[in-house]
Amino acid sequence: MAAAITGFVAVAAALGAGHLMAGILLQPGASPFLAVGNAAIDRTPAPIKDFAISTFGTADKPALLIGMAVFLALASVVIGLVSRRSAVPGLAAIAVLGAIGALAVREQSPQSLALLAPVASLIAGLAAFWFLHRRGQPTTDLPTTGDAPADADERPRRPLRRRGFLVGSAGVAAGAAAATVGGAVLERRVDVAASRGAVGPLVPAVPAPPIPSTAAFPELGTPTFITPSKDFYRIDINLTVPQLRAEDAVLKITGLVDEPQEITFDEIRNMPLVEKTITMTCVSNEVGGPYVSTSNFLGVPLIGLLDRAGIQSGATQVVGRSFDGFTLGTPLDMLRDVGEEALLAIGMNREPLLPEHGFPMRTVVPGLYGYVSATKWLTELRLATYDFKPYWVERQWDGEPPGVVPIKISSRIDAPGSFQRIPRGEVTVAGTAWAQGRGIEKVEIRFDDGEWEPAELATEVNRNTWQMFRLTRPLESGTHKVTSRATDRTGFVQPQERLPLITPGPTPDGSTGWHAIDFFVE
**Residue 309 and residue 324 in one domain:** yes
For the chain, how big is the Rg over CA atoms in Å?
29
Residue 207: is the preceding peptide bond cis (ω within 30°)? no
**DSSP-derived secondary structure letter, 326:** -
Q: What is the pLDDT of residue 506?
A: 36
β-bridge mates for residue 219, sequence order: none
Q: What is the DSSP letter of 248?
A: G
Instruction: Tell me what the mean pLDDT of segment 422-441 comes to.
Output: 95
SS3 517: strand
Does residue 192 belong to any structural domain of this protein? no
Q: Say if residue 37 is in the same domain as residue 182.
A: yes
* Residue 14 DSSP SS3: helix
* Mean pLDDT of the region 318-327: 90
Domain that holds residue 367: 199-403
Task: Give long-range contacts, CB 8 A cutoff, 24+ apart: 98-101.
Answer: 98/14, 98/32, 98/122, 98/125, 98/126, 100/32, 100/36, 101/18, 101/32, 101/33, 101/35, 101/36
* Total number of domains in the chain: 3
Query: Does one domain contain both 396 and 510?
Result: no
Which of 369, 403, 437 terminates a domain? The answer is 403
Q: What is the pLDDT of residues 41-69, one digit of tens each?
A: 766 665 666 666 666 666 667 777 788 88
Are both 343 and 232 inside the same structural domain?
yes
343 contacts 299 by C-beta, under 8 angstroms: yes
Q: Is residue 180 part of a domain?
A: yes
Q: Same domain, yes or no, for 204 and 301?
A: yes
Residue 80 lies in a domain: yes
Q: pLDDT tens digits for 173-194?
A: 999 899 989 888 887 777 888 9
More confident residue, 188 or 323: 323
Evaluate if residue 288 carries a pLDDT over 70. Answer: yes
Tell me, yes or no, whether 257 and 173 share the same domain: no
Residue 148 lies in a domain: no
Report d(CA 390, CA 77) in Å as an integer.
Answer: 40
Asked, for residue 146, whether it belongs to a domain, the answer is no
Boundary-marking domain end, from 335, 368, 403: 403
Rounded-to-integer distance, Cα 33 and Cα 118, Å: 9
Phi, psi of 31 (to 5 degrees): -60, 120
State whether 8 and 94 are in the same domain. Answer: yes
pLDDT digits (tens, 9 = 90+) for 353-412: 999 999 999 999 999 998 889 999 999 999 999 888 888 777 665 555 545 678 999 999
In a domain, 426, yes or no: yes
Please count the helices (runs of H) and the strands (runs of E) in the chain.
12, 19
Instruction: For 122-146, write each residue's pLDDT tens digit.
Output: 999 999 999 999 888 765 544 545 4
pLDDT of amino acid 155: 47
Q: What is the mean pLDDT of the chain?
A: 87
CB atoms within 10 A of CB 408: 21
**Cis-peptide, bond into residue 360, ω within 30° of zero:** yes
Which tens digits make up the pLDDT trace of 222-247? 999 999 999 999 988 777 788 899 99
Same domain, 298 and 383: yes
Domain presence at residue 174: yes
Same domain, 11 and 96: yes
- Do 230 and 358 share a structural domain? yes
Q: How many residues does the chain have?
A: 522
Task: Indicate which CATH number applies to the domain containing 428.
Answer: 2.60.40.650
Same domain, 504 and 358: no
**Domain end point (choices 403, 433, 460):** 403
User: For residue 374, what is the domain's CATH number?
Assistant: 3.90.420.10
Total-model pTM:
0.79
Q: 330 and 355 share a domain?
A: yes
Q: Is residue 147 part of a domain?
A: no
